[in-house]
């Protein structure tokens, strides 16, 4: 694997992050499917493409198929003749779940169930999704490919310890309660509840 070299006009991780968010992302013709989970709840998956190898992409914290990175990765996969599926972690598809179970970066049990059912050619994860995928690979070892069907797996993850020295000092301090992942999840849940266009099942 060759080392990454940033373009001369976009140096540094901060500028690259801002550019990725602000640059227009392609539109992807997603098709939604719902799976009932073994514990009586459900997850929703968005699919793109009809033929070719399957890429399973696991999104980051509070992300989903509408995230800019998911749309870019899916568009590249489609250009290369692949299919792409984004399984939404519970509560991230815009619909309230039946059970009070949240997702987290160490929940490999549900990811294992998803991969065993999907049996993708390749699995990839971004941020939190990459963390869960790497943890799953570490736990399953050589059995991961046999159980999931995936020949390869890739993940993009940034650890808090590695990122902290590069963050401005005012961002490295303890987050206020309103900025924690739990608070963000609560706000999303309230938005879903107050939306007249989406109702829980």
Domain coordinates in residue numbering, the chain: 13-194
HSE-CB for 88 with a 13 A CA cutoff:
28
CB half-sphere exposure, 97, CA atoms < 13 A: 23
Which has the higher per-residue pLDDT, 171 or 29? Answer: 29
pLDDT confidence of residue 13: 85
Instruction: Write the pLDDT tens digit of every residue in 36-75.
Output: 999 999 999 999 999 999 999 999 999 999 999 999 999 9
- What percentage of residues in the chain have a pLDDT greater than 90? 56
Note the pLDDT of residue 200.
38
Cα 32 to Cα 161: distance, rounded to the nearest angstrom: 36
Torsion of CA 59, 17, 94, 122, to 10 degrees: -20
DSSP state of 25: P
- pLDDT score recorded for residue 172: 44
Residue 169: the pLDDT is 53
pLDDT at 145: 73
Give the pLDDT of residue 175.
47
Token pair for residue 147? 């159980």
Question: Of all helices (H) and strands (E), which one includes residue 114?
Answer: helix 108-118
- At residue 129, does pLDDT exceed 70? yes
Matching residue, tokens 């929703």: 44
Instruction: Tell me which of 65-74, 141-150, 173-182, 189-198 is least confident.
Output: 173-182
Pick the more confident residue, 191 or 7: 7
Greater confidence (126 vs 173) lies with: 126
**CATH numeric code, 13-194:** 3.40.50
What tokens does 130 get? 């990459």
């Amino acid at each position: 694997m060759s080392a990454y070299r940033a373009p001369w006009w976009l140096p540094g991780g901060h500028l690259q992050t801002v550019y990725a968010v602000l640059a227009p992302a392609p539109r992807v013709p997603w098709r939604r499917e719902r799976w009932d989970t073994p514990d009586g709840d459900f997850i929703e998956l968005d699919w793109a493409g009809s033929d070719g190898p399957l890429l399973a992409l696991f999104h980051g914290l509070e992300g989903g198929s509408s995230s800019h990175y998911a749309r870019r990765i899916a568009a590249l996969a489609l250009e290369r003749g692949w299919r792409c599926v984004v399984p939404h972690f519970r509560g991230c598809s815009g619909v309230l779940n039946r059970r009070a179970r949240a997702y987290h970066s160490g929940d490999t049990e549900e990811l294992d169930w998803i991969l065993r059912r999907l049996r993708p050619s390749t699995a990839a994860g971004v941020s939190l999704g990459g963390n869960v995928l790497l943890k799953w690979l570490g736990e399953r070892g050589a059995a991961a490919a046999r159980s999931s069907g995936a020949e390869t797996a890739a993940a993009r993850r940034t650890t808090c310890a590695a990122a902290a020295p590069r963050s401005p000092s005012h961002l490295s301090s303890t987050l206020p309660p309103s900025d924690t992942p739990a608070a963000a999840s609560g706000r999303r849940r309230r938005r879903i509840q107050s939306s007249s266009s989406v109702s829980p099942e």
